[in-house]
Amino acid sequence: MIDSHTHLFLCERPEAEVVAAAVEAGVGRMLNVGLDAPSNLLAVAAAECYESVFATVGCHPTEAAGFDDDTAEEIARLAADKEKVRAIGETGIDYYRETASRAEQRRAFEAQIDIARDRELPIVIHARDPEGETGAVDDVFEILDSRGDGVRVILHCFAAPWRTGDAIDRGWYCSFSGVVTYPSADDLREAAEQLPDELVLVETDAPYLAPQPIRGQTNEPAHVVSTAETVAEVRGVAYSELERVVEANAQTLFGW
């Protein structure tokens, strides 16, 4: 199994323990996702330490205040390390916590789309709205449609089931977090059922969004297994078959 989105540098336990627990649980590859300049360096450092860990570098939309050409250049510089860095992001739009203006978020997002294209790397997308609204998701689709031609897209922590068909039409990968295991998440489970094999991924977003069996506790990459079990169940396949599918998709995307 793989974890397509984790933040090892935010987990409570030491990274070595977290990585070892994941490998013991059968998680052979983890994508350690940077959020800003300091965490980008931490993500790359972990990728240098552990064979099973690879990194992304980027600027999260809530960290986009003050994003400038120097910020973009540093992301591009780090992304030149193709051995360790396998994607750009996470980036996107967040109207739930507007710690950066909408204009700043858009500028940072567009710059990172350009970096992903230039470096020939996939891009990890964050889109979050206040409850009952869809503006961030809509803007993410609009910006990618206008600027992201040729860039491979991962919709991290996929939470827009009403746009499942649109994602499929665009060939975008949808990565399901522990939220898909929650009793109230029938719409997400339906989305997980609808996706073609070649667009399915699973993730933890650790230390956040622990799956139902440990809900409310700190999440870790090892717990992606619980999420994958639910996705396999709703898709009507054995766990081993889903494992084969998501590992193949991650290999296609990240080249690991």
Write out pLDDT tens, residues 155-181. Answer: 999 999 999 999 999 999 999 999 999
In whole angstroms, how far apart are CA 242 and each of 27, 32, 120, 150? 13, 21, 27, 27
Domain containing 90 equals: 2-254
Return the pLDDT at 21.
98
Return the pLDDT at 217.
97
Tell me the DSSP string of 107-130: HHHHHHHHHHHHHT--EEEEEE-S
Residue 156's nearest CA partner among 88, 207, 203 is 203
Instruction: Look at the chain and report how many structural domains it folds into.
Output: 1
Return the pLDDT at 72.
98
Residue 213 preceded by cis peptide, ω within 30? no
Residue 5: strand, helix, or coil: strand
Residue 178: CATH number of its domain? 3.20.20.140
Segment 219-229 shows an average pLDDT of: 98
Return the pLDDT at 32.
99
Return the pLDDT at 109.
98
In whole angstroms, how far apart are CA 149 and each of 8, 55, 91, 145? 31, 23, 16, 7
> pLDDT confidence of 41, banded at 50, 70, 90?
very high
- Per the CB < 8 A criterion, the answer to whether 30 and 2 are in contact is yes
